[in-house]
């Protein structure tokens, strides 16, 4: 089984230096791009490969790049931004890539920047990723020293500078326009669209924002071709995917597997199944802002299309397992408390609605809830849902709640009728 993204990452956790990466074939994609391809050739290749963004939305990467204006009258500079904020609860795949093989990201960013003719690039890094920051800065310095960054890269007419920007730490920066505002030194709140970042982004200039995992793919596709990428997947979406698993499983971690691998296989074969003494009850498949998938639905394929059929989303493909000895109401309260704290406060449904949801869940968990709270919570899943808020923060927060109200109704009622948490009484 091919593992292009993780195959060269060392088990002992020491990152590849530039020499080791070159020996593994690294930077050959950069040489191919700069010496043999035009920018539009790169864009068309990524389009043909069908690379879908790995940050959660699954938007076609090549199509996004094609929206950047071209020609002599394009406002300069053009920017490439790498979203390495990774604040989605349960997600840790990008950190694994950053700490294990930083040159893979740098090579992908060079190729991507060439495609959109960007002169400057930023890695917008989560504040807590201190180890990743140290590794990235060292790798970038190595790339400059070897002529892969800076002026006239490898003797070409193309120049690129990459900077690391450590964020102040807000979940909302995962939304691309909030990320741009934060990078400009402004309050991290989403912008109205249009204009879209590809035409008016960072400092009003054309800007492309891609996820770490997405950018790590670019050089590999250039080296091996679109058909190679397509054939790695099991369902036509192409490539492998970094699937994360956390919770009470025997082997939590990151697994690079073909796109479309069945969830049950990931959990039982690769993650080793449940820890002894625990049974699986449900899974949040793509970070905290996705709906529950129940045990009877585990034979679903983990891809962008298939999970929609069971009412959820792949998101970041980092699964959090809910076991039978963890209270689902407390589980949901913990999620909604995070989203309430991380609201940027820009729009009323999110600013007022999420704290109200958190307080009702806390009351139910502590045995002070009322049955009418369930109707109020259900109302909030619509009030804070799609079409009623400025961005996707509150709708994302409502996804686990709306499915939790359906799947765990009896658990909610036990809390309300017995006036305590049944799980706490068993501790």
Condensed to tens digits (0 to 9), the pLDDT of residues 3-28 reads 999 999 998 889 999 999 999 989 99
Low-confidence ranges of the chain (pLDDT < 70): 425-427
Q: Which CATH class is domain 240-323?
A: alpha beta
> What local confidence, expressed as pLDDT, does residue 427 receive?
45
| Cβ atoms of residues 102 and 110 within 8 Å | no
Q: What SS3 class is residue 244? A: strand
d(CA 7, CA 224): 15
Architecture of the domain delimited by 328-425: Up-down Bundle (1.20)
Which of 254, 226, 320, 315 is closest to 282 using CA atoms? 320
CATH superfamily of 18-232: NADH-ubiquinone oxidoreductase 51kDa subunit (3.40.50.11540)
> What local confidence, expressed as pLDDT, does residue 425 receive?
61
Tokens of 197: 């970042």
Chain segment 103-135, per-residue pLDDT in tens: 999 999 999 999 999 999 999 999 999 999 999
> What local confidence, expressed as pLDDT, does residue 72 receive?
83
| Cβ atoms of residues 52 and 46 within 8 Å | no
d(CA 293, CA 416): 24
Tell me the pTM: 0.93
Structural domain spans, the chain: 18-232, 240-323, 328-425
Q: Which residues contact 269 (CB under 8 A, 6 or more apart)?
A: none
Beta bridge partners of 81: 122, 209
> What local confidence, expressed as pLDDT, does residue 345 receive?
87
> What local confidence, expressed as pLDDT, does residue 426 receive?
52
Which of 322, 321, 300, 320 is closest to 311 using CA atoms? 300
């Amino acid at each position: 089984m091919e593992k292009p993204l993780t195959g060269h990452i060392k088990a002992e956790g020491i990152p590849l230096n530039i020499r080791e990466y070159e020996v593994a074939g690294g930077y050959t994609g950069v040489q191919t791009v700069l010496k043999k391809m035009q920018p539009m050739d790169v864009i068309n290749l990524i389009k043909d490969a069908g690379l879908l963004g790995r940050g959660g939305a699954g938007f076609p990467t090549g199509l996004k790049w094609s929206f950047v204006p071209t020609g002599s009258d394009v406002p300069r500079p053009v920017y490439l931004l790498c979203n390495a904020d990774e604040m989605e609860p349960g997600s840790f795949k990008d950190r694994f890539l950053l700490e294990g093989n930083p040159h893979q990201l740098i090579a992908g960013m060079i190729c991507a920047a060439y495609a959109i003719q960007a002169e400057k690039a930023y890695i917008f890094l989560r504040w807590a990723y201190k180890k990743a920051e140290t590794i990235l800065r060292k790798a970038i310095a190595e790339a400059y020293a070897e002529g892969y960054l800076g002026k006239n890269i490898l003797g070409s007419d193309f120049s690129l500078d990459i900077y690391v920007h450590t964020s102040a730490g807000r979940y909302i920066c995962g939304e691309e326009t909030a990320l741009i505002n934060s990078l400009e030194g402004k309050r991290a709140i989403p912008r109205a669209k249009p204009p879209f970042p590809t035409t008016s982004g960072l400092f009003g200039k054309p800007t492309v924002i891609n996820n770490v995992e997405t950018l790590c793919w670019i050089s590999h596709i250039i080296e091996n071709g679109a058909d190679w990428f397509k054939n790695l997947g099991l369902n036509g979406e192409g490539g492998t995917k970094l699937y994360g698993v956390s919770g009470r499983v025997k082997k939590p971690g990151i697994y690079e597997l073909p796109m479309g691998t069945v969830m049950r296989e990931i959990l039982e074969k690769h993650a080793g199944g449940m820890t002894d003494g625990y049974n699986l009850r449900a899974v949040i498949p793509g970070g905290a802002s996705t709906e529950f998938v129940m045990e009877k639905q585990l034979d679903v394929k983990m891809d962008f299309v298939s999970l929609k059929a069971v009412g959820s989303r792949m998101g970041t493909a980092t699964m959090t397992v809910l076991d039978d000895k963890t209270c689902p109401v407390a589980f949901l309260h913990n999620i909604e408390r995070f989203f309430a704290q991380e609201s940027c406060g820009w729009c009323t449904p999110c600013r007022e609605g999420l704290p109200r949801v958190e307080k009702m869940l806390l009351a139910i968990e502590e045995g002070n809830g009322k049955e009418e709270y369930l109707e109020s919570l259900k109302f909030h899943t619509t009030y804070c849902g799609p079409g009623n808020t400025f961005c996707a923060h509150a709708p994302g927060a409502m996804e686990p709640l709306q499915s939790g109200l359906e799947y765990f109704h009896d658990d909610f009622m036990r809390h309300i009728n017995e006036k305590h948490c049944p799980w706490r009484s068993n501790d």
